[in-house]
Amino acid sequence: MVRRCGSGDQLVALDLVQDGFVASAAPLQGTLLRKQVPQKAEIHSEGTLSKAEIDEILQMASDPGLLVPLEVKHWSRQQLELYVLSGGVLRPKGCSLPDERLLANATMTQEQIVSALAQASEWITSADALLIGSGAGMGVDSGLGTFRGGHKGVWDGLEAVGLAYEDICQPKWFQEEAGEPRLAWGFWNHCHVAYQESRPHDGYSTLRRLGQRCPLGFFSFTSNIDSHWIASGMSPERVLEVHGAVRWLQCSKPCCPDVWKAPNDLGLAEDGESHRVTGLLPLCPKCQAVARPNVQMFGSDGDFSRARRASQNVRYDAWLKRMSERPDRESLRLVVLEVGCGLTVPTVRKEMEKVLQIFPQARLVRVNPENPGLAPELVNRGP
């Protein structure tokens, strides 16, 4: 197969396999058009494993649900192979994931589960205060995918452009000079639409009612960025969205710490082949730079505006402080209810365990079918 080159009669061979040409809309003219294929976003750098290399090694795992830590791309190939083939037992020093062999209640019988549920119910209904910690697993019953585990599924475009979730969730993609803001918004617009169209399940209102019965109140500490707690009717005064929320925007530079609410419809459409968006990108009203979600992303996100989260944090800290200063603090019946919080990004788990250290009589109810284990020092704090 050949094509004409320039205005002369020179013929140049086409490599149809390599270049992926297809017949044009006007085949009688003897022309071909280059086929559009999803453009891969290359982020591989020296000293790191690429997504393709990691996926290849993970195929060797006997357990398809084997968790790997975020820092895995900085391991050597041999380190990852040993980790995978040993089921996570042989691991590099400093691995951020806990060794589940050292955790209590990592596996439970049906009888133990029934007993634990009965004990948890008794604690919650008689609680003086309720702290609800929630992660991605909380959104599964609303039809939202988690980032890892059995309900994994965030955006189909990830596979097409050759990126992992933690790769696309980096602020660098919004930079107009060195990044790809239309690819970034391909992912984040998908999230924005998914969160708008989904509805908080009944569990949100059930937990809110349980919290309202507590004499000393309740609070929601969540790593979820879907705003479902507030959408479910929870007072914004009682919610801390520790990783931010997609419904709020900020400048990507940033030129200022301002945060503003995103419109329900951003006016963006995703191209089905390139997975980049078309339409006018959201802009900062002050400097006209590309706007981004007010979400704390991976990759040392120093550009994340903490203004909105800071005000939430003040209210959360004040609630804990009031309880910690009570004369009956030692006997306070605080229940820490943790729902759907994973191990890979353990922000919520660590906060819940920190609160347990402040209140000696506090109880921990961990709801997580995939990672229910408790650290040995917390065994007596759970059901």
Residue 42 C-alpha from the chain's centroid? 21
Burial of 110 (0-12, 13-18, 19+ CB in 10 A): exposed
284 appears as a binding residue in the annotation: yes
Half-sphere exposure of 9 (CA within 13 A, CB side): 0
Q: Is the C-alpha dihedral spanning 23, 24, 27, 30 positive or negative? A: negative
> DSSP for 42-56?
----TTS--HHHHHH
Question: Is there a catalytic annotation at residue 151?
Answer: no
Kindly tell me the sign of the dihedral angle through the C-alpha atoms of 333, 115, 87, 99: positive
Angle at 103 between CA 151 and CA 64, to 5 degrees: 30
Judge whether 191 is annotated as a binding position: no
Catalytic residue among 190, 192, 243, 275: 243
Nearest CA to 219 out of 200, 242, 243 is that of 242
Phi, psi torsion values for 114, nearest 5 degrees: -60, -45
Answer whether 63's CB lies under 8 Å from 54's CB: no
Q: Is 287 annotated as a binding residue?
A: yes
Q: What number of other Cβ atoms are within 10 A of residue 7's Cβ?
A: 6
The token pair that represents 138 in the structure block: 């909380």
Contacts of 11 (CB under 8 A, 6+ apart): 2, 3, 4, 5
Question: DSSP 3-state helix, strand, coil percentages of the chain (rounded to 5)?
Answer: 35, 15, 45
Strands, E assignment, the chain: 2-4, 11-13, 21-23, 32-34, 129-134, 218-222, 239-241, 244-251, 259-261, 269-270, 277-278, 291-295, 334-339, 363-367
| Residues making up the binding site for Zn(2+) | 251, 256, 284, 287
User: Which residues are catalytic, by number?
Assistant: 243
